[in-house]
A and B are shown apart, each in its own frame.
Chain A
Amino acid sequence: MSLAPATPDATHEAQRPRRGSRIIAIMRGLLRDEVGCLALVILTIVLVMALFAPLITQYDPLFQDRRAVLKAPSLAHWFGTDDIGRDVFSRVLYGTRISLFVGLTVVVITMVVGGMIGMISGYFGGLVDMVIQRIVEALDTLPSLVLSLFIAAMLGPSVRNVIIAVSLAQIPRFVRIIRSEMMKIRGQDFILASKVIGSSPLRIMLTHGLPNLMPTMLVIGSLAFGIAIMTEAALSFLGVGTPPPNPSLGTMLSHGTRFIGMAPWLIIFPGLMLTISVLALNLIGDALRDVLDPRQR
């Protein structure tokens, strides 16, 4: 049996495209997908609006103009005002900011923690894998929203606690997918070659496993982004998410239902923003999956 010990890295490099060129290829593929491209444009607009909210709106999202209570959309207040005179447009933008922040943070945490645990589980197998998978299965017995709700209710309402709750509920999904992907590649030649030259498991996972798992992580990350935004909104809707007076799309929807007859703008605009953001993220996830795995087209 010949393992060609003199050129293991050359073998590895031959199997793995350069990282920069691969990302460019993914982006090109995404832009060639019409729906994906449109979703990317929409998400970019949402991101820009959220990031530059202070420049786009003149209103403080917390300021109560008590002379302008429940005003319908107008030139002064594009999305109207709420029941204590706060500008809904401003609150939607700042609420989106919080949603995107929560979503992004959750994705980073779940990718790092879930990805690492998944790689360890898939790479080592055996007892380590069995223990990790039983824990993951135990967590998976509860629907992620119920688990998030339980954790958030235990910790109390705050943005930080929402991030913790949603992340903990999303990690099992990451672990399972990354573990199965890692198991697929752990027997491949470039991994074996790296083992032969004495690389540590950590080095193998980070330098060989991670780059190969990144496309999968990107796809589930984009989907998890949408799920995190929805879960944050759901938790806020139920009163255990973003605490008042901070704007949250979920809280705005929850409170707006009280005025659905007399002030429908209180739920229309936060609802639209939530729908658009999550839809765009899901479409990007779908497009990414198609780009990275053309067989699923």
Chain B
Amino acid sequence: MFEGLSTYGRALTVLAASAMLTPAAHAQETPKYGGKVTINVHADAPNFDPLASTEYAVHSRLGLAMNRLVDWATGPDIDYGEFVPKPALAESWDISADSLTYTFKLRKGVVWQDVAPVSGRAFTAADVLATYAAIRESGVQKGLLATVDTITAPDDHTVVIKLKRPNVILLQNLAHQNMWILPKEAFDGGYDRNSVVIGTGPWLLTDNQAGVATHYKKNPTYFGKSADGKQLPYLDEVEILPLKDLNARIMAFRSGQIDIWFGPLNLTQMAAIKQQVPDLQEIKTIANTQTELYLNPSFKPFSDLRVRQALNLAIDRLALGDVVRGGGGIGGVVGPALSKQTLPEEERIALYGTPDHEKAKALLAEAGFADGFSFELTVLNYGEEFVREAEWIQQDLAEIGVKAELKMVDLAAGQALAKEGTYQGLFLVMSPFSEADEYFTTHFLKGGNRNYMGVDDAELTAMIQEQQGISDPAARQQKIWEIQRYTAKNVQNPLPIWSSLLLHPAHARVHGWRPMLPQGFPSLPEVWVSE
């Protein structure tokens, strides 16, 4: 069916192009020092305490002034959602043979920004200990250190983390967007971390006015260097504008008031912007979220695996992605943004992108629903394109005799229904994840906070726990794939649908801009401007 479409190849081409990102066309040019870029972050930071909130408005701003022990590497060969550990405040680390002890050697010569009361003193292991102790005690991100047993500092430049059990994603947890290292004075009453920002990062936060702008100036003592040894950052100044209104953001970008776009933007809006700014850099990535269709097994038809498989076979995802989203990637249990953990694309297409209505009807008949059935499909209102996806799925299901009555609800109501389990079908956008383990544990383990389907499968649980202890990356990748295949065959719930494109336009004068999954603009120190 749908042979008249522009071919699925278009979506695949976009996918491939997106996965490769669009490195700056001026990669061969020599970076220049100086200048300023302006970014929009569509909300004000309510405070600057990284332990109090996971809000992007906070951590996006902190990223310019702070560092983590380990960072996400960026570069032309690294995907948007691919975690490659990069030394930050830790310049190296060793992992014991039993994977239970991590020894971090801290970078020497790093100093805190010259802001009272820290006033440019040297960074030491005591700062790391104080930060992690506070996080473990009361930080919103304390779950990231849940497997940690003890943290000690044998000397000023060594930190040893001992684990209760192996955790192969500890490095990624330490590089998490919320894991900024603060000076120890932030935790002993030395200053108010809600309002004062003191870090070791590339820029100093010099001024923040809610509703107006956040200003940064270059930190002359920043330790970071480029791959070819050049001192970073290149930019003298950075400004973040909290433009909440989409049209205001678009106007600001068109007029050049904003250099780098951050936040939601669809293809139509991008096309409109491009008419005014024809030479913009049209950087696209695949979102680290995907739409998902949850089928509640307490509703009788959905308790039968064959019915869930039938619904899976009814949905034409590739055409949906082409027509409704204009590109992106077919969903998998682990979404396509996590390019090293999601199943290979051809396998995802085989599992989820090959609709077969005859087979679907046969499965329904086998399950005792030869005449189909009706159910209420609760749709969380994430916006018009999302609703279009729901309408698309509704027609696909109707073609195998399953009538879905759409019920629109707001996000809070939908999430409450999901947690209570009082829904029949539920269509939503998955929360963003940066690691397969995070997805598996929250969705498929009993008591997982997103296990809205009540999955409690002993074999699957054992597989999930097993992958947590595999330290060899290749072997772990195989296990993660195995889990996804098992889930597709035996659980088939939720049904992954589609990962949309993320658009990150930037003006042509901006070079080296590479959007990455974690907040805090990790590639910004290497950004430079040509004018």
Q: From the candidates A67, A245, A254, A259, name the one contacting B268 in the complex (CB within 8 A).
A: A259
B266 and A244 contacting across the interface, CB-CB below 8 Å: no
B391 and A245 contacting across the interface, CB-CB below 8 Å: yes
B19 at the interface (CB under 8 A from A): no
B459 at the interface (CB under 8 A from A): no
A157 at the interface (CB under 8 A from B): yes
B408 and A243 contacting across the interface, CB-CB below 8 Å: yes
B501 CB, min distance to chain A CBs, angstroms: 15
Q: From the candidates A84, A157, A254, A261, name the one contacting B391 in the complex (CB within 8 A).
A: A84
Count the A-B residue pairs with Cβ separation under 8 angstroms: how many? 56
B384 and A254 contacting across the interface, CB-CB below 8 Å: yes
A66 and B408 contacting across the interface, CB-CB below 8 Å: no
B115 CB, min distance to chain A CBs, angstroms: 45
Q: From the candidates A85, A153, A243, name the one contacting B407 in the complex (CB within 8 A).
A: A243
For the complex, give the distance between the alpha carbons of A244 and B379 in Å.
10
State whether A239 and B268 are in contact (beta carbons under 8 Å apart), knowing that A64-B392, A67-B5, A84-B323 are contacts in the complex. no
B224-249 contacts to A, CB under 8 A, are none
State whether A69 and B323 are in contact (beta carbons under 8 Å apart), knowing that A64-B391, A245-B391, A258-B384 are contacts in the complex. yes
Q: Which of A64, A66, A67 has the most CB of B within 10 A?
A: A66
A121-157 contacts to B, CB under 8 A, are 153, 156-157
Closest A-chain residue to B269, C-beta based?
A258
A203 at the interface (CB under 8 A from B): no
State whether A258 and B268 are in contact (beta carbons under 8 Å apart), knowing that A243-B408, A245-B394 are contacts in the complex. yes
B319 at the interface (CB under 8 A from A): yes
Closest B-chain residue to A156, C-beta based?
B409
A64 and B266 contacting across the interface, CB-CB below 8 Å: no
B99-131 contacts to A, CB under 8 A, are none
Would you give the 0/1 interface string for B394-410, flagging 1 where the beta carbon is closer than 8 Å to chain A?
11000000000011111
Q: From the candidates A66, A239, A261, A262, name the one contacting B5 in the complex (CB within 8 A).
A: A66
A290 at the interface (CB under 8 A from B): no
For the complex, give the distance between the alpha carbons of A156 and B407 in Å.
9
B408 and A67 contacting across the interface, CB-CB below 8 Å: no
For the complex, give the distance between the alpha carbons of A244 and B408 in Å.
8
B408 and A157 contacting across the interface, CB-CB below 8 Å: yes
A239 and B272 contacting across the interface, CB-CB below 8 Å: no
Closest A-chain residue to B4, C-beta based?
A67
Closest A-chain residue to B267, C-beta based?
A258
Query: Which A residues lie within 8 Å of B324 (CB)?
Result: 83-84
A58-85 contacts to B, CB under 8 A, are 62-64, 66-67, 69, 83-85
Beyond contacts A245-B391, A255-B384, A258-B384: 12 other A-B pairs, Cβ-Cβ < 8 A, are A62-B395, A64-B391, A66-B5, A66-B319, A83-B324, A84-B388, A85-B323, A156-B409, A239-B408, A243-B406, A244-B391, A262-B271
B477 CB, min distance to chain A CBs, angstroms: 36
24 residue pairs bridging A and B, Cβ less than 8 Å apart: A62-B395, A63-B395, A64-B391, A66-B5, A66-B319, A67-B2, A67-B4, A83-B388, A84-B323, A84-B324, A84-B388, A84-B391, A85-B323, A156-B413, A243-B407, A243-B408, A244-B379, A244-B391, A244-B406, A245-B391, A245-B394, A258-B384, A261-B271, A261-B272
B371-401 contacts to A, CB under 8 A, are 379, 381, 384, 387-388, 390-392, 394-395
State whether A64 and B395 are in contact (beta carbons under 8 Å apart), knowing that A83-B324, A84-B388, A261-B272 are contacts in the complex. yes
B404 CB, min distance to chain A CBs, angstroms: 10
For the complex, give the distance between the alpha carbons of A66 and B395 in Å.
11
A239 and B266 contacting across the interface, CB-CB below 8 Å: no
Closest B-chain residue to A245, C-beta based?
B391
B180 CB, min distance to chain A CBs, angstroms: 37
Query: Which B residues lie within 8 Å of A62 (CB)?
Result: 395
Closest B-chain residue to A65, C-beta based?
B4
For the complex, give the distance between the alpha carbons of A157 and B408 in Å.
7
Q: From the candidates A63, A83, A243, A245, name the one contacting B323 in the complex (CB within 8 A).
A: A83
For the complex, give the distance between the alpha carbons of A156 and B413 in Å.
10
Would you give the 0/1 interface string for A239-261, flagging 1 where the beta carbon is closer than 8 Å to chain B?
10001110000000011001101
B503 CB, min distance to chain A CBs, angstroms: 14
B334 CB, min distance to chain A CBs, angstroms: 28
A158 CB, min distance to chain B CBs, angstroms: 8
For the complex, give the distance between the alpha carbons of A261 and B275 in Å.
11
For the complex, give the distance between the alpha carbons of A67 and B406 in Å.
24
A243 CB, min distance to chain B CBs, angstroms: 5
Q: Which of A157, A254, A262 has the most CB of B within 10 A?
A: A157
Closest A-chain residue to B275, C-beta based?
A261
Query: Which B residues lie within 8 Å of A156 (CB)?
Result: 408-410, 413
Q: Which of B269, B390, B410 has the most CB of A within 10 A?
A: B410
For the complex, give the distance between the alpha carbons of A230 and B234 in Å.
54
A43 CB, min distance to chain B CBs, angstroms: 31
Query: Which B residues lie within 8 Å of A259 (CB)?
Result: 268
A66 and B407 contacting across the interface, CB-CB below 8 Å: no
Would you give the 0/1 interface string for A71-111, flagging 1 where the beta carbon is closer than 8 Å to chain B?
00000000000011100000000000000000000000000
Closest B-chain residue to A263, C-beta based?
B268
State whether A244 and B387 are in contact (beta carbons under 8 Å apart), knowing that A69-B323, A157-B408 are contacts in the complex. yes
B308 CB, min distance to chain A CBs, angstroms: 23
A258 and B407 contacting across the interface, CB-CB below 8 Å: no
A233-288 contacts to B, CB under 8 A, are 239, 243-245, 254-255, 258-259, 261-262
B212 CB, min distance to chain A CBs, angstroms: 28
Q: Which of B266, B268, B392, B413 has the most CB of A within 10 A?
A: B268
A30-71 contacts to B, CB under 8 A, are 62-64, 66-67, 69
